A and B are shown apart, each in its own frame.
Chain A
Amino acid sequence: MSVGDFGFFVICLTAIVLLAAQAVVHPSEFAQILVFGLADGAIYALVALGYTMVYGIIELINFAHGDVFTLGAYVAAAVMGFFAGTSEDTFSVSNLVALLVTFPAAMLLMGAVNITIERVAYRPLRNAPRLAPLITAIGMSFLLEGIMFVWSGPFTVHVPDLLPHGPGFNTTIGGVFIEFKDVFVVVAAAILVSLLAVFINRSKLGKAMRATAQDRDASQLMGININRTIAATFFIGALLAGAGGVIWGLYFNAITYNLGFRTGLVAFTSAVFGGIGNIPGAALGGMVIGLTAAFSDAYIGSKWTQVVIFGILIGVLVFRPTGLLGMRVPEK
């Protein structure tokens, strides 16, 4: 074991021991925070997957990804507005219809947006020095934020609370208050991640994506359409980000145009934590970061949460740059 690995495990172990102490002293409070952390972490995981997939295939940190996520939430708010019969007070059939339309609409639209971004901003720079597409990605991020700013103004936008909630849709188990929403978020994220895993490992396109990530030139020689495969990667990443945006909107009911900046960085940290390029790693990283944020809010103080999260980012990069589950990047 290297010194770096040792340092990494010592830090992880210390955190786990301190949390275990809290779990013993205040079990129900601890379990409640665990619920919040898992729900937040599930959303971070969905966004982190997009970062890690794109990085895995073209080694680009797509900084616009967090804003694609936010745009998904904005589109969701707009689409929900079209359904007149919905109610925020009681769950009706119209709510269900609205949800069934909103999810695919926001996801597909975000897929289209991300393919466009890739085609316009990244593909022409694919062989340029690596700094060029990185700067372009930051530019795309500002562009998307600007579009949302112009569209909906600078204020916090309300997303209709269409999921079942209120009396009858929550329960207390052993002192832990759980809403239907909490369960919904985690289950929805789990389903999407499982579908992704099946797709990557079983489908032909998934195989092409893995091959392209491993060696782009060799894949091309084997007859894989590189452009189509990379576009598909952006499309699938954006489907997840779009779904994440809709779920975030339904869960918190409040979004702002620059939400993606912070969420994007947190999701990126999750991806690095799990091992950038590593798909199960990103999902795991998202959960760990979500839990870290919740525990930090409760036990250290909200103002330190960001410090803790980005401290983890630096710590991982210094002590264990391959992340928790190991990096998967093209071998040169």
Chain B
Amino acid sequence: MATLIAFACGSTSGGGGAKGTIKIGSDLPTCTAGGKSTQNGIDFAIKQKNAAGGVSGFTIQFVPFDDCRQAAYSADAGVENVTSMLGDSKFLGMIGPYNSAVAKAEIPRAAAQSFTMVSPSNTNPCLTKDLSTCSYHPQDLRGGKPNNYFRVVTTDDYQGPAMADYAYKTLNLKNVGVLDDSTVFGAGIADTFSSEFKKLGGTVTRDSYKKEQTSDWRSKLLTFKAAGAQAVYVGGTDDQNICIPRKQMKQIGWDAPYMGGDGIETPDCINQASGNEVGISATSAGADATQIPGAKSTIDAFRAAFPQPNDFGGYTMQAYDATNALMAAIGRAINDANGSMPSREQVRKEMAATKGFVGVIGTYDFDQNGDNSLKIVSIYTVQAVSDPTQSTGVCGKTASKDCFVWKTQFDFAKSSG
């Protein structure tokens, strides 16, 4: 019966490939610049694939979903979106979500139906690793079903330490004030930064705030400064106003580095820092595409299709890769199904079996937890550039020439052996 419906729909869609249409969904907070630029990467990969004839005779249809509610990502909205996808048998996988908290809510729903999820940006380690610092076990999220969740980025347990290494060894800082936005992500990344920085021999002063309760961070910043801090590390995201304290540092006459995770590598962060954005440093849980030989042609083609400076973001190429990896798995699953529409379980199985996938951000596999074999963290710092359209890091909206510029990268796969 399902086949019959699929066939019927396929034949009415007209413009589709010879065998019909396969849908790939996305679940991203497209109210944010980060979510939007990530969605562009998926869109681009699918258009490219369809222009080249689709996947084994099927046309791929991209159906983007938005998980924003009232200006910020919402796990509830994400679950609603996944439920919509699960209700349509043509959806064989999804790219997303963008935020780890959303993934935590979505994985149980998707796992129950072997629905493949590939996240271009989730960095919370607890989603895949059973660590003592986590409040849940990854196998519980999957309800005993085989793993359906994959990600092409490195986890936060590397992001925090990478910045700690950079601050202590490269910038030669010994005392840092650490502020987090009281979210799971923000507090988590601030913890990993703090423990690594202390392990190296540095001193840390901690505090947290909540967005709805704080507009003035100056007193807190002042106590950091009075405690001898030479820089501020923030754990959080721009939708929690994490970069307004950066502006207020100028108001208290404090000129010092401002560092954080990938949640601050955004145009909104530069906007919030208004006038004090230069000197913000952020980690990104992945390699910079410009640092990988062979990625340039893809980036150039993307730039031609999406010309605005902020069409390209920190996770655009990760999303592009995630989409191609998923489409490759769908292609193999079609072979498994003898050329017809594969089942979701066939797609999931092939995704897990991915070996030596050659993507823009590197060549990699997925381990049994769904983590990829790359462990690269990049570091970016805001500075004035002459041509923002050539920047791989994002730029400000009003301060359009102040952009995140790649500084260095840490490869934890190599260092840990």
Which residues of A sit under 8 angstroms from B244, Cβ to Cβ?
A: 156, 252, 254
Q: Which residues 36-80 of A have a CB within 8 angstroms of B?
A: 36-37, 40
Q: How far is the CB of A219 from chain B (nearest CB, A)?
A: 40
A330–B315 alpha-carbon span in the complex (Å): 62
What are 26 A-B contacts with C-beta separation under 8 Å?
A26-B226, A33-B222, A36-B218, A40-B216, A149-B70, A154-B71, A155-B239, A156-B241, A156-B271, A158-B398, A161-B275, A177-B253, A252-B216, A253-B247, A253-B274, A254-B215, A297-B220, A299-B223, A301-B208, A302-B208, A302-B214, A302-B217, A303-B182, A303-B208, A303-B209, A306-B210
Which residues of A sit under 8 angstroms from B83, Cβ to Cβ?
A: none
Number of A-B contacts (CB under 8 A): 99
Q: Are B219 and A36 in contact (CB under 8 A)?
A: yes
Given A29-B226, A33-B219, A298-B220, residue A154 in contact with residue B72 (CB < 8 A): yes
Q: Is B213 an interface residue (CB 8 A)?
A: yes
Binary interface encoding of chain A residues 291-321 relative to chain B, with 1 for a CB under 8 A from any of its CBs, else 0: 0011101110111011000000000000000
Q: Is B212 an interface residue (CB 8 A)?
A: yes
Given A161-B274, A177-B253, A297-B220, residue A305 in contact with residue B214 (CB < 8 A): yes
Q: Are A153 and B71 in contact (CB under 8 A)?
A: yes
Q: Are A32 and B217 in contact (CB under 8 A)?
A: no
Q: Is A262 an interface residue (CB 8 A)?
A: yes
Q: How far is the CB of B412 from chain A (nearest CB, A)?
A: 31
Which residues of B sit under 8 angstroms from A153, Cβ to Cβ?
A: 31, 71
Which residues of A sit under 8 angstroms from B217, Cβ to Cβ?
A: 297, 302
Given A259-B215, A302-B208, residue A254 in contact with residue B241 (CB < 8 A): yes
Q: Is A217 an interface residue (CB 8 A)?
A: no
Which residues of A sit under 8 angstroms from B214, Cβ to Cβ?
A: 297, 302, 305
Which residues of A sit under 8 angstroms from B389, Cβ to Cβ?
A: none
Given A33-B222, A156-B272, residue A305 in contact with residue B213 (CB < 8 A): yes
A32–B254 alpha-carbon span in the complex (Å): 13
Interface size on B, residues (CB 8 A): 36
Q: Which of B72, B222, B226, B272 contacts A254 (CB 8 A)?
A: B272
A206–B245 alpha-carbon span in the complex (Å): 42
Interface size on A, residues (CB 8 A): 40
Q: Is A88 an interface residue (CB 8 A)?
A: yes
Q: Which of A170, A179, A298 contacts B222 (CB 8 A)?
A: A298
Q: Is A172 an interface residue (CB 8 A)?
A: yes
Q: Are B210 and A294 in contact (CB under 8 A)?
A: no
Which residues of B sit under 8 angstroms from A256, Cβ to Cβ?
A: 241
Which residues of A sit under 8 angstroms from B72, Cβ to Cβ?
A: 154
Q: How far is the CB of A280 from chain B (nearest CB, A)?
A: 25
Q: Is B252 an interface residue (CB 8 A)?
A: yes
Q: Please, which residue of chain B has its CB at the minimum distance from the CB of A178?
A: B253
Which residues of A sit under 8 angstroms from B402, Cβ to Cβ?
A: none
A254–B212 alpha-carbon span in the complex (Å): 13
Q: Please, which residue of chain A has its CB at the minimum distance from the CB of B209?
A: A302
Which residues of B sit under 8 angstroms from A156, Cβ to Cβ?
A: 241, 244, 268, 271-272
Which residues of B sit under 8 angstroms from A37, Cβ to Cβ?
A: 219
Q: Please, which residue of chain B has its CB at the minimum distance from the CB of A89?
A: B275
Which residues of B sit under 8 angstroms from A293, Cβ to Cβ?
A: 216
Q: Are B226 and A301 in contact (CB under 8 A)?
A: no
